[in-house]
Structure formats: C-alpha cells, structure tokens
C-alpha cells in the first residue's frame, strides 16, 4: 500500500512502527525498510521480509544528535564528522554505548552500530513522530536493485509493506559508510557522500577497508544490486542488448537509457537504480554499461555496477 505522505499518514506510520510493524519510507539516498530498532521482533521481521542474512547488521537512523549520543560513544573526530555531514548520506560506525537499548539483532550482535541522520523531511518527521531509532536497510529483497521510488518498493515486496511516498530519492545511491580508528577514517562502503568531499573538508586521506581487515562491513557481498539481466561493464552495446549510456550522444538502435548526457555524476547516481530497473523491465538478457569515470560519486556508481555484474552463484541471494 502506497501512502500519500501527509501529517496523518506520518502519524499512522509512526504508530505502526511503535506497535512493531514495518514501514518503508523515503530518505535522500534510497527508500528504507524501517522498524523500531529497540524491538527485536520488529527487527527480525526486516530480515525475514528482505530474505537478508542475519550476519548483516542494519543501519540505525536517528532524528537528532541527542538520540545518536544515547546509542553510541562519539569520539571528538566522530562529532566533527557528524557536525559536518549530518543530516546527510554518511553512516558512521561507532562503539555501542552502555544502556543503548538497541535490539541485538539490529547490530547482528556486534559491539558497534552504524548510525545516520537522514537528510529528508519525511524520514526526519517519521523519526520524530515514532520517537525511536529506526533500523532501515534499503527496501528491496536482499541482493536485488535498491529502490528509489515508492512503486519500486511496492513491486519488490508485492504490496506486503506500507510505503510512505516521498517521490524519487535525490541522491539515488546508499549512504557512504565509514569507521573511525583513532585519527584515521576508513571507508567501508562508497556512497552518496564522495570520499573526496570528506577528504577536502577534513584535510586527511580517507582509507579503504582492506579485505579481511579488523574493521569491515560484514554485509558487503560481491554479488548484490542484481537485475535479472546480465551486465557487461565499461563497454559498448551489441545488437539485442540494452544499453546504459553515460555522456553525450551515444548512438544505439536498441533499448537505451542515459545516466547523464552532460556527464554529471550526481545526475548519474540519481538515475542509476531507476534506469537499471527500467532496462531490466524491457526483458533484455544483457545490459551493456558505458565506462563511468572513477572520481567523486563515480566510485559509488562503479561499486554498485561491479556488484550488479558479479557472478551470482551464492544460494539465497
């Protein structure tokens, strides 16, 4: 059920959340599948509804800094990052605070939590009305394309979850996830806040999480965001394929979408999942994807494309 997001719908959705039900809601990145993060049964139903492996912890969304500081211990650097980028598409992994009250399943039993304050009036209104931290992964069946519109959520879950409609998401890819190790910032997932933007504001290098490192994001599976079609990257299309283009004047006779004719990476990120959903819906067997520059938001876009193109032999994806 898609809900026109007026004050009444927000109040109703908040009541559902407080009663342990799931509600999907828009954020500036992608739509989230939300549950009261302090209610273990509610959080469990997120994993069941998505078909998500239980070892993959959820991002916990907060209404404000006071709520965040009740849940986790902020170092001075963590505070500076939150000051600089919240509300916004940055999830910060922090040590859980004594007496935090979060359900163990929300953090998959870790002693850390990924927190974020979303930059969207509807998510913030919902968080305030529910007056609870909300666990919310992207609102798609596990392993599939993330949703950036209410109708994609509705289709993904076959109408089983109420969806607050906030129109298309303005960023279009998930938040950037970072961890902090002393004075070092480690990027666990490239996302809607470009690494270069954090580096520019803080004047330090943002490191990459090495495979198997002590600090990592457990849910970063190689095959993810997968459309039904196969994907070929950094290439030109063959007859019969669909084509995801980038930049001016591509010539191709078949099904084509252009992430950004002007080569704007923000526009490309915003269009990425929607255009993949659309090309997939044409029934094409293969989607060829043009090369995308690896700078700025290109890092997050290429990350999603590589996972979408990865071999899919894991059962239960």
Q: Which residues bind ligand TXA (CB under 6 A)?
A: 27, 29-30, 32, 56-59, 89, 91, 93, 107, 110, 112-114, 118, 136-138, 174-175, 177, 188-189, 217-220
In terms of C-beta distances under 8 Å and separation of at least 24 residues, what long-range contacts does 106-109 make, across chains too? 106/37, 106/43, 106/57, 106/58, 106/60, 106/135, 107/57, 107/58, 107/60, 108/54, 108/55, 108/56, 108/57, 108/58, 108/218
> Residue 93 is inside which H or E element, if any?
strand 90-95
Contact assessment for residue 261 and residue 246, using Cβ atoms and an 8 Å cutoff: no
Nearer to ligand TXA, 152 or 258 (CB): 152
Nearer to Mg ion, 138 or 149 (CB): 138
Q: Is 148 annotated as a binding residue?
A: no
292 in helix, strand or coil? coil
Query: What 8-state DSSP symbol labels residue 38?
Result: T
Q: Is 282 annotated as a binding residue?
A: no
Q: Is 294 annotated as a binding residue?
A: no
Query: Taking CB within 5 to 8 Å according to partner kind, which of ligand TXA, Mg ion, none is near residue 91?
Result: ligand TXA
Q: Is 175 annotated as a binding residue?
A: yes
Residue 148 touches Mg ion, criterion: CB under 5 A? no
Residue 29 touches Mg ion, criterion: CB under 5 A? no
Which residues from 112-141 bind Mg ion, rule CB under 5 A? 138
Which residues from 161-190 bind Mg ion, rule CB under 5 A? none
Rounded to whole angstroms, the Cα distance separating 61 from 67 reads 9
Query: Taking CB within 5 to 8 Å according to partner kind, which of ligand TXA, Mg ion, none is near residue 218?
Result: ligand TXA
Rounded to whole angstroms, the Cα distance separating 122 from 137 reads 16
Binding residues (CB under 5 A) for Mg ion: these are 138
Binding-site residues from annotation for ATP? 52, 56, 112, 138, 146, 189, 225
């Amino acid at each position: 059920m898609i809900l026109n997001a007026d004050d009444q719908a927000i109040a109703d959705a908040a009541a559902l959340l407080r009663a342990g039900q799931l509600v999907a809601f828009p954020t500036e990145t992608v739509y989230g599948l939300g549950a009261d993060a302090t209610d273990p049964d509610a959080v469990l139903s997120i994993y069941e509804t998505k078909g998500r492996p239980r070892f993959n912890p959820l991002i916990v969304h907060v209404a404000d800094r006071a709520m965040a500081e009740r849940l986790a211990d902020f170092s001075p650097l963590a505070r500076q990052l939150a000051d600089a980028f919240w509300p916004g598409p940055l999830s910060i992994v922090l040590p859980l605070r004594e007496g935090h009250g979060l359900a163990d399943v929300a953090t998959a039993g870790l002693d850390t939590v990924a927190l974020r304050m979303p930059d969207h009036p509807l998510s913030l209104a919902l968080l305030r009305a529910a007056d609870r931290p909300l666990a919310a992964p992207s609102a798609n069946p596990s392993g599939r394309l993330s949703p950036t519109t209410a109708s994609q959520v509705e289709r993904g879950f076959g109408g089983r979850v109420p969806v607050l409609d906030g129109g298309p998401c303005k960023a279009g890819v998930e938040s950037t996830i970072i961890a902090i190790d002393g004075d070092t910032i480690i990027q666990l997932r490239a996302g809607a806040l470009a690494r270069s933007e954090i580096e520019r504001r803080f004047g330090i290098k943002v490191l990459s999480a090495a495979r198997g490192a002590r600090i990592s994001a457990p849910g970063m599976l190689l095959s993810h965001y997968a459309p039904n079609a196969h994907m070929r990257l950094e290439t030109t299309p063959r007859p019969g394929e669909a084509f995801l283009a980038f930049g001016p004047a591509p010539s191709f006779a078949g099904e084509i979408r252009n992430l950004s004719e002007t080569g704007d990476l923000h526009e490309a990120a915003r269009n990425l999942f929607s255009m993949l959903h659309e090309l997939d819906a044409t029934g094409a067997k293969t989607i060829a994807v043009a090369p995308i520059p690896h700078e700025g938001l290109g890092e997050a876009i290429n990350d999603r494309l590589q996972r979408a193109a990865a071999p899919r032999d894991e059962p239960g994806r």
